[in-house]
Amino acid sequence: MRIDLFEMERMQALYWHRVEYDLSESGVLPLTIRDLLGETQDPEDFVRTKLGYPLSEGSEVTRERIAQWYPGAGAENVTVVNGGSEANHLTLWALLEPGDRFAFMVPNYMQGWGLGRHYVGSTDVFRLKLREGRWILDREELERAVTGQTKVVMVCNPNNPTGHVLTEQEMSAIVDAARKVGAWLVADEIYRGAELDADEASPTFWGRYDKVVITSGLSKAFGMPGLRVGWTVAPREAIEDIWIRHDYTTLSPSMVSDNLAAIAMEPARREWILGRTRGITRAHWPLLDGWLRSHDGLFTYARPVAGAITYAEYDLPVGSRELIDRIREEQSVLLVPGDMFGLGKGIRFGFGFDIEHTMKGLARVDEVLRRMG
Ligand SMILES: Cc1ncc(COP(=O)(O)O)c(C=O)c1O
């Protein structure tokens, strides 16, 4: 079966390690195993981990602790997999069948878009739009995209690439649209917990409707992409369907990942990790904001609500791919073009890593912009 190239992932795979300034990352400075263990865990316990197979769904303790982050969920609602990307893939594989329709929020991490086209041939898009400094859900498009044939409605909240968090009214509109036609609602919440202003994680879709699947993991808000831990939280019938497929892909998480995930999701440790992430996003954002503002109205953007990313539309007579290629080729800076999120003239900027280095990269971007201006 045909599958489209996942363009952003391929671009990052090709270039992130070859450029001097990688500003294409969407996470935060990764934790070390030492940071994660903290003062109370004996590193020897970790070193003595027996590298056998863990339980296929993830250990009971890991699943229980993940479930605690989703009010009303229990360990039986959780399965642990290899990254948020495997969680998304197994979920859409389990839920979509030929002839179904798939409604997909854009902009988004475009894995769902590509998988939708793979499994059912097309995706029905509804959008967030940037209006007067805010991202807003286009409810008319939502109404049009979700029809009687829709089997799955998929959103990313907090959103990649905009950092938008859906308002209560927007969440309700999406739940109502799915409920009206009996569709599954799949919410990729991998940036939940990385809020810039709030001290609490943004609300989850879990518990708002009986056909909700949450996909998430430790790669973004938790700063541990190298651990490759993801999960789905779902009604047991959906977990069974996902598990069947997991047996055909990677069988289980790794023993090391499962053990470390249990530590990360212990409630006090979890809040410490998310506090660290929020500290990073809060300290870094004003610098990127200052840089964007210093361009005399060239960029239109909204302050991100969560996540170490923002998306800025620009007013220049050049397409986003061409601009991003130029910036990479001439200045060795990697950014992500709007095209790769289903948008047009815009750029996603990551600000969760070394901010001084990031600012130097942005000074290089200025060189390109100056020559174009
Ligand atoms: C919204 C979203 N979901 C999933 C993923 C993939 O996560 P992982 O690295 O845990 O597979 C990403 C990575 O950028 C993402 O932005």
Instruction: Give the fold, CATH level 3, of 7-32+275-372.
Output: Aspartate Aminotransferase, domain 1 (3.90.1150)
Q: Do 7-32+275-372 and 51-269 share a fold?
A: no
25 CB under 6 A from ligand 1?
no
Which pLDDT score, from 0 to 100, does residue 350 have? 98
Instruction: Give the fold, CATH level 3, of 51-269.
Output: Aspartate Aminotransferase; domain 2 (3.40.640)
Write down the pTM of the prediction: 0.98
What's the Cα-to-Cα distance from 169 to each of 174, 301, 305, 347, rounded to whole Å? 9, 22, 16, 28
Per-domain boundaries in the chain: 7-32+275-372, 51-269
82 CA to centre of ligand 1 in angstroms:
11
Please list, in sequence order, all residues whose beta carbon lies within 8 angstroms of the beta carbon of residue 70, skipping any fewer than 6 positions away: 77, 204, 206, 207, 214, 233
Assign 146 to helix, strand or coil.
Answer: coil
Assign 60 to helix, strand or coil.
Answer: helix
219 CB under 6 A from ligand 1?
yes
Residue 373 clears pLDDT 80, i.e. is over it: no
367 CA to centre of ligand 1 in angstroms:
31
Q: pLDDT by residue (tens digit) across 48-100?
A: 999 999 999 999 999 999 999 999 999 999 999 999 999 999 999 999 999 99
Residue in the block written with tokens 């709030």: 198
Which pLDDT score, from 0 to 100, does residue 1 have? 82
Q: pLDDT by residue (tens digit) across 277-316?
A: 999 999 999 999 999 999 999 999 999 999 999 999 999 9
Which pLDDT score, from 0 to 100, does residue 39 have? 86
